[in-house]
Structure 1
């Protein structure tokens, strides 16, 4: 009997068995994925002499442990659940009534009820609640890591951080070790990414097949959301779908606008899909029924050229600055509405590193090294600064020791490339 053969009359299926037994998990050692990720965080902590981290971002908690619980809710209601991680101990402080969700997860040594120090939970007593939280946490930290422990903290309210420091804990920011840990993917992680992308690509295919003039952007968007959910994806992090004159400038979200005939339709998936991994590619479609105009095709060809040129130069050992210098030159007419990044890291969400355009590097860029095991999304938005439609394209790639491997496989639009 497989985990998917479990019937109601034989008892409830354990959550871990349900997740690990899903069809997209075939051939993936998810225990190895969890073990690798936990090891990565601990390794980056050790490199920085960090005794412990307290993680409250639900994506980072899932990265370090493999546990998930109401991901969107807990992003908004921080700290509804959080993880205390030391070199040899993993304690998950879980939302009320949810301790059972971590059963069978080997990366969690102990589950305790979360002590939520937020104004919503405590009202006018928030300061006292923060001090109580800090006192209890400091006692646990001292017992596990010794007096004066150096502790990485993220996404806690300021009062809690101040109170924790007042207990003699050396508080630092946890972002750097966690982001650096997440940046390098194992072979088993890449299998999760591929599974997430294949499911998302099927969802985008359903959405593309549903395109017709006369429907609203929201109606078209709903096809994608339904298909993502049916394919066991988690959620869409954004709702970046727009049409016609709303395609330029970028970053307009789906709305009630009716899609007209012969318009461009731009999509950025931003799907947190199977296993919690980000499926992040962008495509632009044409609503028909007539053929695209020459202007529409010219925009599309430029975006296609930018993405493929920038993919072609990516290689392990390249510095971020060298990448910026070698990247595609954006024509002056389209530079004002350029996408804010040339490429970015991608794992369970968009992540480190950000690779900036040459023009933006002096003000926004930072240097670093492109490394094997990074998964990057190469971006393009082409829309004239003086108006008209725009085109959004994006590909997701894996950096290998000798180049890169294309991960996103959804086809481009032949009618817009000819």
Structure 2
């Protein structure tokens, strides 16, 4: 039997740019829903405000986006969201105009960049200046309240806030809980991002040939994402042949050879800042798999389908872990880091640990809820094996179970 190259509907061969289906009405609904989710969490935890530095959290709360990757390691933008009060954004130098059309921000100010890159030896001085401004706003809008949630903060900032009697509390947990439940309009954005990612996957399938490098193939996913308005790839997880086992080896200039496995994980931040996190495994040249490659693929597929079938609203994380597909001993050492994880504007809460020692070391309980979006993970590669198979599906929790959001086909002909 000849292996058939997988194809995504209406894309294979044409590589046309798809029309963006997202309306301004949808975007406005998403923005206001997300901001309301943040404020709901603040009220639930009796915290009057949250200070955000993580650019993904700023994007979620306000939809303000500016140099997202750069801002992730240069803390030069921040936002203060009040439970009962304004949403204030401090943006990079002369960037106040970028957030004017959003409708979620009440005031934009110029940021005080007190990290070492911006302040050098004046870090402490600039941090004190920054803290005075934040403390004044808290006093103005909250009065004598002394609690402030923060998602991340360098030590000088903690000390500067403490000097004003402000007690800091963990804000990332609040943001993860806010982000966990998706609105109908958010799902429109997620489906569009996944469609863009699958155009990139199809382009890789069409371009894949023996003799090209892993980097050359990976570039096509970037290309399709960017030309459709996407933003970046979180990782570079594409590997071929012996580099597929163990997993987590990022793509390189290795030349790929006919018949080897090639596996990848998109980890793609696409249009409007949403994540498409899908994994597929093929053979280089789309030739029929060997018996061993077919065996690995069948096991990975079985793990994926078994765990997807368990999902439903009200199911506990621990019960899901305990009932998850039992990984054969030969593949346990190289197992993926989790059974499943949340996904939205990035990888998100929850992360479900494998049963046994993994659960004892890092597991935590909770409950799956309707309108959560998750990624179900599988990696099968023996400790002494030559290759491995990586599969991953992005799904939506519905009242009846789970609905696959990723439509790009698996290799059904490998399961015969």
Residues 233 and 268 in structure 2, CA contact (< 8 A), matched pair in contact too: yes
Other-structure match for 2:119: 122
Unaligned runs of 5+ in 1: 1-21
Higher RCO structure (Cα 8 Å, ≥6 apart)? 2
Other-structure match for 2:163: 166
Other-structure match for 1:182: 179
- Aligned-CA RMSD value: 1.2
Matched, 1:200 2:208: no
d(CA) in 1 for partners of 2:129, 2:149: 19
Shift of residue 164, structure 1, vs aligned partner: 0.5
d(CA) in 2 for partners of 1:62, 1:26: 18
Shift of residue 335, structure 1, vs aligned partner: 0.3
Residues 48 and 145 in structure 2, CA contact (< 8 A), matched pair in contact too: no
Shift of residue 24, structure 1, vs aligned partner: 3.2
Other-structure match for 1:352: 349
* Equivalent runs, 1:306-345 vs 2, <5 Å: 306-345=303-342
* Equivalent runs, 1:17-416 vs 2, <5 Å: 23-26=20-23, 29-78=26-75, 80-87=76-83, 88-288=85-285, 290-359=287-356, 360-416=358-414
d(CA) in 1 for partners of 2:159, 2:142: 19
Shift of residue 130, structure 1, vs aligned partner: 1.1
d(CA) in 1 for partners of 2:29, 2:371: 16
d(CA) in 1 for partners of 2:324, 2:125: 53
d(CA) in 2 for partners of 1:43, 1:269: 32
d(CA) in 1 for partners of 2:316, 2:129: 46
d(CA) in 2 for partners of 1:314, 1:401: 10
Q: Could you give the per-residue CA deviations for residues 5-48 of structure 1, whole angstroms, max 9, x where no partner exists?
A: xxxxxxxxxxxxxxxxx723148611011000000000011000
Residues 148 and 168 in structure 1, CA contact (< 8 A), matched pair in contact too: no
129-138 vs 91-100, which moves further? 129-138
Residues 291 and 415 in structure 1, CA contact (< 8 A), matched pair in contact too: no
Shift of residue 60, structure 1, vs aligned partner: 0.5
Residues 148 and 170 in structure 1, CA contact (< 8 A), matched pair in contact too: no
Residues 28 and 188 in structure 1, CA contact (< 8 A), matched pair in contact too: no
Q: Could you give the per-residue CA deviations for residues 27-75 of structure 1, whole angstroms, max 9, x where no partner exists?
A: 8611011000000000011000111100011111010011111110101
Shift of residue 416, structure 1, vs aligned partner: 2.7
Residues 381 and 389 in structure 2, CA contact (< 8 A), matched pair in contact too: yes
Residues 28 and 313 of structure 1: CA distance in aligned 2, closer, same or farther (over 3 Å): farther
Q: Could you give the per-residue CA deviations for residues 263-291 of structure 1, whole angstroms, max 9, x where no partner exists?
A: 00001000001111100110001113642
Residues 342 and 348 in structure 2, CA contact (< 8 A), matched pair in contact too: yes
Normalising to structure 2: TM-score of the pair?
0.93
Residues 55 and 289 of structure 1: CA distance in aligned 2, closer, same or farther (over 3 Å): closer
Q: Could you give the per-residue CA deviations for residues 209-247 of structure 1, whole angstroms, max 9, x where no partner exists?
A: 111110110011111111111121111111100000000
Q: Could you give the per-residue CA deviations for residues 271-313 of structure 1, whole angstroms, max 9, x where no partner exists?
A: 0011111001100011136421000000011001100100000
d(CA) in 1 for partners of 2:281, 2:225: 19
Shift of residue 148, structure 1, vs aligned partner: 3.6
Shift of residue 149, structure 1, vs aligned partner: 2.8
Size of the aligned set, in residue pairs, is 396
Residues 339 and 227 of structure 1: CA distance in aligned 2, closer, same or farther (over 3 Å): same
Other-structure match for 1:9: none
Residues 345 and 353 in structure 1, CA contact (< 8 A), matched pair in contact too: yes
Structure 1 moving runs of 4+ over 6 Å: none
d(CA) in 1 for partners of 2:82, 2:350: 25
Q: Could you give the per-residue CA deviations for residues 95-143 of structure 1, whole angstroms, max 9, x where no partner exists?
A: 1110000012111001000111111111111111111211221111111
Other-structure match for 2:3: none
